[in-house]
Amino acid sequence: MAEVTLSGLSKSFGAAKALSDVSLTIPDGAFVVLLGPTGAGKTTTLRLIAGLDRPDAGDIRIGGHSVLQDTPAQRDVAMVFQQYSLYPHLTVRENLAFPLRSPMIALPEAEIAKRVAEVAAVLHIPHKLDNKATALSGGEMQRVSIGRALVRQPRIYLMDEPLSSLDAKLRADLRIELKRIHAELGATFLYVTHDQIEAMTMATHVGVLDHGRLVQYGSPREIYENPVSAYVASRLGQPRINLLPADAFGPAPPGATQIGLRPEHIHVGEGRDATIRRVEHLGDQTRLHLTLGPHEMITLTDPHTEARPGDTLQIRPHNPLWFDASGNRIQGPTP
């Protein structure tokens, strides 16, 4: 286990700047989730820490020691990719044991057998241990990929959307398992996901990347409740935060050009008339799609709502977020 410190990390690929001056400390035992749209630099960050790419500038320290001169194996980190990477001709048992037989680790066979059995149980694949990797479903292969990282008990786990190819049930099960492994082993995780629920439920810290820059780093709650910009605010929250012209409900604080409204910022029962366009029952939430003058918004409502498309209701903002012309957050009173 170890603290990871990135200082002034930059990386370009030709003319494309993948990371710009990223500084970030991942405390020992933290579960850090990186968020950002495609191309923001998430995978590049993981690859630099793993030693699969070299930064153009900056330093990477693990446990206080710069690892820039270390090989990937010496760094003692395990990376799980979005796409499974198994040896197809080996069985699941052999795939899981493989990292433990490398010259740098070379554990006794009895210890290997024990770790393989433990990890297979965690990932619900003990009955598949003697199958060839090619005889597995996609979800099973991905579990074996995760298992290959877990058996090693590295100092740091780097995971790049490891659950995105799995079905919803398995994803939910493995989310709980990963969180349990994190809590039990006290391991340090750096984890990339586009999945809201993974970010909110697993992260101790969230880092938001925008075009290779780290724009905010804090607890999931801080990022959700106190975003520094409209961009950050749009990264968390389902439905997504509604961004409307600042004067959509009346006077706005000086400098504000946009008002940001999450469902909890929308008070229903008084204010401006909004028309219901659609009532969307998603099982775990019921969404109202609203039209407010020329604007469209989405909010949440009671699952047993009697509301119908075409109905009108009154809404007003309640402690909304305000943003200036550059999208930066500004503090302001509720109008």
Ligand X SMILES: Nc1ncnc2c1ncn2[C@@H]1O[C@H](COP(=O)(O)OP(=O)(O)OP(=O)(O)O)[C@@H](O)[C@H]1O
Residue ranges that bind ligand X, judged by CB under 6 A = 13, 16, 18, 36, 38-44
Q: Per-residue DSSP letters for 239-262?
A: SPPEEEEGGGGS---TT--EEEE-
Alpha carbon separation from 48 to 6, 68, 99, 251, 268 (Å, rounded): 10, 9, 21, 48, 48
The distance of closest approach from Cβ of residue 246 to ligand X in the complex, given in angstroms and rounded to an integer, is 30
Residue 107 three-state SS = coil
Report the relative pairing of strands 156-160 and 188-192 from DSSP bridges: parallel
In the complex with ligand X, the residue whose CB is nearer, 140 or 160, is 160
Q: Which helix (H) or strand (E) holds 183?
A: helix 168-185
Is the separation of the CB atoms in 154 and 78 below 8 Å? Answer: yes
In the complex with ligand X, the residue whose CB is nearer, 40 or 199, is 40
The distance of closest approach from Cβ of residue 39 to ligand X in the complex, given in angstroms and rounded to an integer, is 4
Strands (E), the chain: 4-13, 16-26, 31-35, 57-62, 65-66, 77-80, 156-160, 188-192, 205-210, 213-218, 242-245, 258-261, 266-281, 286-292, 295-301, 312-317, 321-323, 329-330
The distance of closest approach from Cβ of residue 275 to ligand X in the complex, given in angstroms and rounded to an integer, is 36
In the complex with ligand X, the residue whose CB is nearer, 41 or 162, is 41
List b or e across 319-333, with b for residues whose CB sees 16 or more CB atoms inside 10 angstroms: ebbbbbeebebbebe
In the complex with ligand X, the residue whose CB is nearer, 212 or 327, is 212
In the complex with ligand X, the residue whose CB is nearer, 39 or 255, is 39
The distance of closest approach from Cβ of residue 313 to ligand X in the complex, given in angstroms and rounded to an integer, is 38
In the complex with ligand X, the residue whose CB is nearer, 52 or 135, is 52
In the complex with ligand X, the residue whose CB is nearer, 48 or 313, is 48
Greatest CA span in the chain, whole angstroms?
72
The distance of closest approach from Cβ of residue 3 to ligand X in the complex, given in angstroms and rounded to an integer, is 23
The distance of closest approach from Cβ of residue 161 to ligand X in the complex, given in angstroms and rounded to an integer, is 7
Residue 126 three-state SS = helix
The distance of closest approach from Cβ of residue 266 to ligand X in the complex, given in angstroms and rounded to an integer, is 30
